[in-house]
A and B are shown apart, each in its own frame.
Chain A
Amino acid sequence: GAVVSQHPSWVICKSGTSVKIECRSLDFQATTMFWYRQFPKQSLMLMATSNEGSKATYEQGVEKDKFLINHASLTLSTLTVTSAHPEDSSFYICSAQRENAEQYFGPGTRLTVT
């Protein structure tokens, strides 16, 4: 299957700082990338959908100015958590998809804000 990577796999940051998470499709070009968030013992919640070269579409309740998404190329999307707070601590997972094909997920990034 297709491979999607995320970097970093885990990060600890102080409250008020910003953190950037990268998502790469390693062996295919992804027309669409998705960002999910997962709190402990809960299911994945879609945060936003991004298509290469266009603005991301955010789900209701997700602040676009806090969670900045850039999809600069067909193989790279980044999520920046700005002014992070402890309640932003979560498991962030990206997925990448070719046109009309399955979504493939990255391994996730564990963010802890102290």
Chain B
Amino acid sequence: DAKTTQPPSMDCAEGRAANLPCNHSTISGNEYVYWYRQIHSQGPQYIIHGLKNNETNEMASLIITEDRKSSTLILPHATLRDTAVYYCIVRPLSGSARQLTFGSGTQLTVLP
């Protein structure tokens, strides 16, 4: 079972920031929060991951709450090409349970 909860869909205006929430209230101390996205009919693409500190890379920012029970993926300037299903996944960094379990994700639609 997926250990995360995400809204099924969101819209965002092109050029605006897209903020995608994720709840992971049962996350364990050794589990990281990973974000992937899947554009239609393609394989998933890794975006970012974090443990407890906020993270930023060239694609996005990840904000994790202090209690680690939720997080937000931020696409600072959404483009039409960011339309995809975004998956929030928790998994340990090492050990035998490192497989990715995909939930339903959030369908982000960027509107022109």
Q: A residues engaging B (CB < 8 A)?
A: 1, 4, 6, 34, 36, 43-46, 49, 91, 93, 95, 97, 100, 102-108, 110
Contact = CB atoms under 8 A, between A and B. Distances in A.
B102 A43 contact: yes
A26 B50 CA distance: 26
B42 to A, nearest CB: 6
Given A36-B102, A102-B46, A108-B43, 10 more contacts: A1-B46, A43-B103, A44-B100, A46-B99, A93-B43, A95-B44, A105-B44, A106-B43, A108-B42, A110-B41
A34 B87 CA distance: 17
Contacts of A106: 43
A103 B46 contact: yes
Contacts of B30: none
Given A34-B99, A49-B99, A107 B42 contact: yes
Contacts of B38: 44
**Those 5 A-B pairs whose CB atoms lie nearest each other, nearest first:** A105-B43, A44-B102, A43-B102, A105-B44, A108-B43
Nearest to A34: B99
A64 B72 CA distance: 38
Contacts, number: 47
Interface string B39-57: 0011111100100000000
Contacts of A93: 43-44
Interface string B60-100: 00000000000000000000000000010000011000111
Contacts of B100: 34, 44, 46, 95, 103
Nearest to A103: B100
B46 to A, nearest CB: 5
B44 A44 contact: yes
Interface string B11-46: 000000000000000000000001010100111111
B41 A102 contact: no
A2 B29 CA distance: 28
A100 B93 CA distance: 6
Nearest to A45: B102
Contacts of B93: 100
B104 A107 contact: no
